[in-house]
Structure 1
Amino acid sequence: MPYRIRRRSESSSAVRQQLTDEVSSLLARMAFHQAWLQIEAPTVAGPYATLVATARAEAGAQMSLAWQHPPITTDSGMNLGIPYPRDRSNAARATCIEVMRQHP
């Protein structure tokens, strides 16, 4: 989402609403999958919860920073140059996937 925010077409209330709706949808899907895992695969639910919390912390901070930038208005600006770091999220995802692989 920080990339989507940086690359938003404009700073209108409609665009802001669309992006915040997308964030809400993502959060709802993560909550659904968390509940499903708690029912179907409790041993996986913990690592998944850690992944979600880690991703939300990283992305939340990055989204806050992204909103502080003006919308990109040029084709050359679409390449942000430096990726947002996801080291903690990637590590949490690897752990979650490993637990998922071990789950019967």
Structure 2
Amino acid sequence: MPDAIKAFGPYAAVLAALVTGLILGVQARISRRAQLRERKQELLASAYEVSIQYAEMAYAVRRRRADTAAEERVRLSEQLREIQARLTWHEAWVRFEAPEVGAAYDELVSRTRTVAGQSMKDAWLSPPVADDTAMVIPTSVVDLRALADVRERYMAAVEAHLRPQGRARRLLPRVPRPRRAMSPPPMPAPPAVGTAPDAPGGSAGGSP
């Protein structure tokens, strides 16, 4: 045994280095995955945020100042231009990074531009607010409830994309395995040739 230990001695350091390298490699891979997941989560949240900012512009236009109309037009136009640029950038990024999420985001952006865009047009054609009571804008004036379903679909797509695969498999319903059909019971063997079956009351060939 001591000779075997001595013979294995030179390889112990190599084996320890290999095990250490394997552990460090696994840890680095886990860390990279966590960083990638966090980066995706931040950018997908940013994509949702910019769609909210675009929709909120309908209220901002309604609440523009009346005493500085020219400055307000420039300010709101520049703000909207920046939001539009960010919206377009996020559309391209989400579509490239996660096509299944990109489809939901395209639907969200399209609906937001239609609904909120029309509200902004109506707001520009209306006079700016003149007092504090006009700051309260009812849904009869700006109604964004039509965006609720597409927002929910986008968030569901993001959640499904970021969910770990192992956890996703555990969440799937179990499919019951089909049971094997039971085989019929064995048939009794036929009596031998030249013998009669036993009578209910006695043995074969006996007197009554």
**Superposed pair shares fold, TM > 0.5:** yes
Looking at structure 2, the residues matched to 20 and 93 of structure 1 have their Cα atoms a distance apart, in angstroms, of 25
Q: 1:60 matched to which residue of 2?
A: 117
Stretch deviating more after TM superposition (11-20 or 41-50):
11-20
Unaligned runs of 5+ in 2: 1-56, 163-208
Q: 1:85 matched to which residue of 2?
A: 143
User: Match of 2:129, SS?
Assistant: coil
Looking at structure 1, the residues matched to 127 and 115 of structure 2 have their Cα atoms a distance apart, in angstroms, of 21
Looking at structure 1, the residues matched to 71 and 150 of structure 2 have their Cα atoms a distance apart, in angstroms, of 34
Q: 2:103 matched to which residue of 1?
A: 46
Q: Which runs of 4+ in 1 moved over 3 A?
A: none
Looking at structure 2, the residues matched to 38 and 79 of structure 1 have their Cα atoms a distance apart, in angstroms, of 37
Stretch deviating more after TM superposition (24-33 or 44-53):
24-33
Equivalences, count: 103
TM-score by length of 1: 0.90
TM-score by length of 2: 0.47
The reply on whether 1:8 has 2:64 as its aligned counterpart is yes
Looking at structure 2, the residues matched to 52 and 58 of structure 1 have their Cα atoms a distance apart, in angstroms, of 10
Structure 1 residue 39, shift from structure 2 partner: 2.0
Which structure is larger by alpha-carbon Rg, 1 or 2? 2
Task: Say which structure is richer in helix.
Answer: 1
Structure 1 residue 89, shift from structure 2 partner: 1.4
Seq. identity, %: 30
Q: 1:75 matched to which residue of 2?
A: 132
Structure 1 residue 69, shift from structure 2 partner: 1.4
Using CA pairs below 8 Å that are at least 6 residues apart, which structure has the higher relative contact order?
1
Which amino acid letter does the alignment assign opposite residue 9 of structure 1?
R
